Amino acid sequence: MNLRKIHTWASVLLIVPILIVGGTAILIAHDTSLGTKEVHLPIAADAPAREKALLLQYEVRAVATGAEGAVLYATKYGLMRSENGAAPVDAGLPYDLRDLDRLDSGALVAAAKEGLFVQSPSQDWTKVANGEFRSLSRQTGGGFLATADDRVWRVSVHGIARPDPTFGAPLQAGAALGVAPPYTLAKLVMDLHTGKFFFGKTWEWIWIDLVGGAMVLLGITGIVIWRRSEKAKARQAEAKLVPRDKAFAMPAE
C-alpha cells in the first residue's frame, strides 16, 4: 500500500471527527453571538442513569444561602436553587457563573463570564457591568471588589458598580514599563493553538474560523473527490469487462 492510499483511507476513516472538530471550533468561538448556551437540549426519559448523571453535573463554583433555608448554587450553567435539600431547579440567571455572594442589604451579587449581576429587591437580576468577571472579594465596611480580565470593579452596598482605578493602576504601570509575568512554552503553544498569538484575545475567533472552516472544507471536498475517484474506477472496471467484439460492433441497419 503506497502513501497515497494510506492518506486517502486515513482521510476517509477520520473525516467524521475532522468535520466535528472543525465545525464545533467555529460554534465555540461564537457561542455568545449564536446563542448556543440558550438552547436547552432535552434528556431522553429512557437515557441510561450514567448519561443523565453526566449531563447533570453542574460544575458548582460558589454557594450562598437564601431565604427560608434555600441554598443557591452558582454553576457553569446558571444559578440553581434548592429548597430543603430537594433537587436544584433553575433560579433565573442562565450564565456561566464564577462567584456568588450577598451584600449587607441582602441582595445577591454574581460574577459571570457574561458580566456582573446584582439582584434587586424584587428578586430580578440586573447587569451592572460588562466584561468577563472572575471573582468577588468582600471589603471592610460593606461592598465587594469584582475582578474582571481587564480591570477591577467596586460594588457598593447599594449594588452600584464602578471601575476602581486604585487596584488597576499598578498593573497598568507595570505593563507600561514592560514588566510582565513569565511567558512559558506551554503558554506560547496554547496561544498558537487558539490564534491569540496572532490576533489577540478579542480577535482570536478569526483564526478559529479560518482553521475550523478549512477543516470542514477539506473534509467535504475530500469526500467528493474520493467518491468521484471510486466511481471512475468502477466505470473503468466495467469497461474492461465488455467483450471486444461487442465494444466495436457496428449498429444494425
Q: Are residues 75 and 164 located together in one domain of the fold?
A: yes
Q: Which range, of 22-36, 142-156, 169-183, averages the lowest pLDDT?
A: 169-183
pLDDT of residue 202: 80
In a domain, 45, yes or no: yes
Instruction: Note whether 105 and 172 are same-domain residues.
Output: yes
Asked if residue 13 and residue 119 are part of one domain, the reply reads no
- DSSP H or E run through 224: helix 196-241
Residue 247 lies in a domain: no
Could you tell me which of 171, 149, 150, 151 has the C-alpha nearest to residue 163?
A: 151
User: Does 249 fall in a domain?
Assistant: no
Last residue of a domain, one of 164, 180, 196: 180
Q: Which of 34, 71, 18, 79 is nearest to 212 (CA)?
A: 18
Considering the domain architecture, whether residues 11 and 124 belong to the same structural domain is answered as: no
Domain encompassing residue 158: 41-180
Please give the Cα distance from 165 to 171 (Å, whole number): 10
Whether 117 is in a domain gets the answer yes
Choose the final residue of a domain: 180, 196, 230. Answer: 180
Residue 54: per-residue pLDDT: 46
The pLDDT, as a whole number, for residue 42 is 66
Residue 193 placed within a domain: yes
End residue of a domain, out of 152, 180, 208: 180
Instruction: Please write the tens of the pLDDT for every residue from 47-58.
Output: 555 544 544 566
- The domain tally of the chain equals 2
Q: Under 8 Å CB-to-CB from 51, ≥6 apart: which residues?
A: 43
Same domain, 20 and 122: no
The pairing of beta strand 97-102 with beta strand 161-163: unpaired
Mind listing the pLDDT tens digit for each residue in 108-163?
899 999 999 998 777 789 999 998 999 999 888 788 999 987 788 998 888 888 98
What CATH number does the domain containing 96 carry?
A: 2.120.10.30
User: What grid cell was written down for 187?
Assistant: 503558554
Asked if residue 250 is part of any domain, the answer here is no
pTM across the whole model: 0.59
Tell me whether residue 56 is in a domain: yes
Identify the residue with better confidence: 79 or 250.
79
Residues 77 and 143 in one domain: yes
Tens-digit pLDDT profile for residues 75-106:
888 888 888 777 778 888 888 999 999 888 78
Q: Are residues 47 and 29 in the same domain?
A: no
Q: Domain for residue 98, yes or no?
A: yes
Rg (CA), the chain: 29
Residue 97 and residue 156 in one domain: yes
Query: What is the dihedral angle through the alpha carbons of 49, 51, 56, 61, rounded to the nearest 10 degrees?
Result: 120
Whether residue 144 sits in one domain with residue 100: yes
Q: Residue 174 has what pLDDT?
A: 65
pLDDT tens digits along 154-173: 988 888 889 887 776 666 66
167 plus 204 within the same structural domain: no
Identify whether residues 15 and 59 lie together within a single domain: no
Residues 56 and 173 in one domain: yes
Instruction: Check residue 52 and give its pLDDT.
Output: 47
* pLDDT exceeds cutoff 70 at 209: yes
